[in-house]
Amino acid sequence: MYFKMTLVPFFFAAPRMVQRQCRAMTSQSVSGKTTLSSRLAKQIKVTKTKATTAKQELWDIEDLHSVAATTAPRYFSPVQTRKQRQVNTLPKSNLPAKKARQDEVSKTSKIKIGTATIIKCELVPPNETMLELKVEEAAAVKTEQDFPNANWLQHLENIRLMRCEKPAPVDTLGCHQCADQNANEKTQRFHKLVALMLSSQTKDETTFEAMKRLKAQTLTPASIQGMPAVELERLLHPVSFYKNKAKYLKQTSQILVDKYNEDIPDNIQELLKLPGVGPKMAHICMATAWNKITGIGVDTHVHRIANRLAWLKKSTKEPEQTRVQLESWLPRPLWSEVNHLLVGFGQTICTPVRPNCSECLNRHICPASASVLAKKK
């Protein structure tokens, strides 16, 4: 009960505070040597010096339990605890802030969920399902022991901050960006499915270029069906496993022509029956093509980072095991966002080999950071 009372206001106040921090940070001119951490610290210092006036606005999270439930709404800083502020050193940074990104970051939107307002960064592709969720569903959270790691929300806030600061290939070249905006909706849905099928074990840049070559001709299920296999393979190369993917694309296109009038299925079960479509692709396809959140799209980045951050009760070997565990405790309104956040975070900072832990805001609360740093020595 105590946890429920404390987590829920924290949960909804947190994104609001992150947005304030991001806006404040991006409005500054940033020299190449300033770190995200130091800018964050400056923000906190400003808040502290204005303590008497700002107290009504921003409270330390540690004071949460001392505030009577009947008082006016309070907002609690989720960014760092008091202890973290004390222990956080401020190393020199090589984290570049780009002006284009600053403009991007300012594009945030407010989403009402019941009586709560969530500030959503535009980096994350929108989905309508989120709008339909009631606050009770989001808050039907879970007791403390349901969370595999008590720091998970702090991890998430830090990743939001880092993602706002550093662009990732998925933001501009991800599958949701691969559809021809001038095509009709049905064709756009097919483009997203094709991009997802090509993206497996392939860099976003390579997938995006292959999609450009495919779209330079007509890209519909009928056109793929009628295209010689050799020509399709030539267009897909150098996408990894391009021969297999060409074969799956032709088989899938045949099914879409025969059964779905050249559209794609609107449910997860039918999507999974298409050749070459696995659970990750199917869930992301439902989100990007149909705006329906049916599950967390767990790719190699989400799988790796969830294990590194100990977001799982037991470490996993397969992405599908990770998906099942994450969905068992992560609040549903975060499912879509988590996929996009973690993929970009894995492309830029928490990379598969030699993750950039010294630059990571989670370095003091990440179970993997110490071992990673030790291996580097």
Residues that bind ligand SF4 (CB under 6 A): 308-309, 349-350, 355-357, 360, 362-363, 366, 368-369, 372
Query: What distance in Å separates the CA atoms of residue 258 and residue 95, rounded to the nearest whole number?
Result: 51
Whether residue 43 contacts residue 24, with contact meaning beta carbons closer than 8 Å, is answered with yes
Which residue in 192, 245, 250, 280 is the catalytic one? 280
Q: Is 280 a catalytic site residue? A: yes
Nearer to ligand SF4, 198 or 357 (CB): 357
Question: What residue type is 346 in one-letter code?
Answer: G
In angstroms, what is the minimal distance from the CB of 370 to ligand SF4?
A: 9
**91-95 long-range contacts, Cβ below 8 Å, gap at least 24?**
91/35, 91/37, 91/358, 92/33, 92/35, 93/33, 93/34, 93/35, 93/36, 93/37, 93/38, 93/359, 94/32, 94/359, 95/35, 95/36, 95/165, 95/166, 95/359
Nearer to ligand SF4, 9 or 346 (CB): 346
Nearer to ligand SF4, 174 or 346 (CB): 346
Cα-flanking dihedrals φ and ψ of residue 281, to 5°? -60, -45
Whether residue 267 contacts residue 260, with contact meaning beta carbons closer than 8 Å, is answered with no
Question: Which residue, chain included where needed, has tokens 């606050």?
Answer: 135
Query: What distance in Å separates the CA atoms of residue 309 and residue 361, rounded to the nearest whole number?
Result: 12
Nearer to ligand SF4, 265 or 355 (CB): 355
In angstroms, what is the minimal distance from the CB of 357 to ligand SF4?
A: 3
Whether residue 285 contacts residue 271, with contact meaning beta carbons closer than 8 Å, is answered with yes
Whether residue 62 contacts residue 81, with contact meaning beta carbons closer than 8 Å, is answered with yes
**Extended strands (E) in the chain:** 58-60, 75-77, 108-113, 116-121
Nearer to ligand SF4, 244 or 300 (CB): 300
In angstroms, what is the minimal distance from the CB of 129 to ligand SF4?
A: 28
Nearer to ligand SF4, 288 or 369 (CB): 369
In angstroms, what is the minimal distance from the CB of 376 to ligand SF4?
A: 11
In angstroms, what is the minimal distance from the CB of 325 to ligand SF4?
A: 18
CA dihedral 317, 364, 25, 125 (to 10 degrees): 10
CA 236 and chain centroid, separation:
27
**Most distant CA pair in the chain, distance:** 72
In angstroms, what is the minimal distance from the CB of 187 to ligand SF4?
A: 38
Point out the residues that are catalytic.
Answer: 280
